[in-house]
């Protein structure tokens, strides 16, 4: 796949270069290399935006959301996922199902994170109350 990217870069077709970076992002993510995936996804979006990649941009943003999610950057995943859905809705819905699934995973992770924060805060409060009660007796 890296060879394909080099060939497309030599040919100078910016849209296809963006698609190749997007494909590399997906491969890197599946190989459990989220940092590399995010680098390729960002490059895909950057080039794709300039090249007017239209419907393919939805997939590029979806890949950026997936990589961000794998790295635990929930806010970035939500932003990229929402952008992917918006683009998919406005460009013929080619990637809409995938974009929605990614956004749903990001939202679920955000809710899990919030729930854990509340649980931790409650436990800390209970500990402080118990300590205070123990010290006041």
CATH number of the domain where residue 55 is located: 1.25.40.10
The total of structural domains in the chain comes to: 1
Chain-wide mean pLDDT for the chain?
89
Residue 137 banded pLDDT, cuts 50, 70, 90: very low
**Four-residue CA torsion sign, 114, 115, 120, 121:** positive
Q: Is residue 128 part of a domain?
A: no
Q: How many CB atoms lie within 10 A of CB 82?
A: 17
Burial of 128 (0-12, 13-18, 19+ CB in 10 A): exposed
Q: Is residue 59 part of a domain?
A: yes
Please give the angle made by the CA atoms of 16, 54 and 109, to the nearest 5 degrees. Answer: 100
Per-residue pLDDT of 80-120, as tens digits, reads 999 999 999 998 888 899 999 999 999 999 988 888 888 88
Q: Which of 69, 47, 66 is nearest to 56 (CA)?
A: 47
pLDDT value for 11: 73
Q: Is residue 8 part of a domain?
A: yes
Domain that includes residue 79, residue range: 2-112
Residue 44 banded pLDDT, cuts 50, 70, 90: very high
Burial of 131 (0-12, 13-18, 19+ CB in 10 A): exposed
């Amino acid at each position: 796949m890296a060879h394909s990217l080099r060939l497309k870069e030599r040919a100078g077709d910016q849209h296809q270069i963006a698609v190749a970076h997007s494909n590399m992002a997906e491969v890197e993510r599946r190989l459990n290399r989220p940092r590399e995936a995010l680098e390729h996804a960002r490059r895909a979006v950057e080039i794709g935006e300039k090249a007017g990649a239209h419907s393919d941009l939805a997939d590029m943003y979806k890949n950026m959301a997936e990589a961000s999610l794998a790295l635990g950057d929930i806010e970035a995943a939500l932003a990229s996922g929402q952008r992917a859905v918006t683009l998919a809705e406005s460009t013929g819905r080619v990637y809409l199902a995938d974009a929605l699934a990614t956004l749903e995973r990001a939202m679920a992770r955000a809710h899990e994170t919030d729930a854990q924060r509340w649980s931790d805060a409650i436990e800390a409060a209970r500990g402080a109350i118990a300590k205070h009660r123990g010290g006041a007796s």
